[in-house]
Amino acid sequence: MPTTVQVNEKTLQMLNKAKKEMKAKSHDEVIKKLLTERKKIPCSMFGSNPKLTSFTEKDRAEFHEL
């Protein structure tokens, strides 16, 4: 869902330059790529909660009940 983000003119110029250099289709793509590179955020967060434990046989059996 698109939304509006307010930036100053200098930031917009920087985004436009980065968009051109990265051959990105949108400012959103530029921002995502920069954040991903900077923060090392993976595309998938699968397995990222270390507090979760592995499923037990009982858990698996419950998932397969009709």
Dump pLDDT digits (tens) for 4-49. 999 999 999 999 999 999 999 999 999 999 988 887 766 666 666 6
The whole-number pLDDT of residue 28 equals 94
In a domain? residue 2:
no
In a domain? residue 1:
no
The whole-number pLDDT of residue 38 equals 81
Q: Print the domain residue range for 26.
A: 9-63
What is the count of structural domains for the chain? Answer: 1
The whole-number pLDDT of residue 53 equals 74
* Residue 23 C-beta-side C-alpha neighbours within 13 Å: 0
10 burial class (0-12, 13-18, 19+ CB within 10 angstroms)? Answer: exposed
In a domain? residue 26:
yes
In a domain? residue 49:
yes
In a domain? residue 27:
yes
In a domain? residue 4:
no
Rg (CA), the chain: 20
Q: Extract the tokens encoding 35.
A: 């954040």
The whole-number pLDDT of residue 7 equals 95
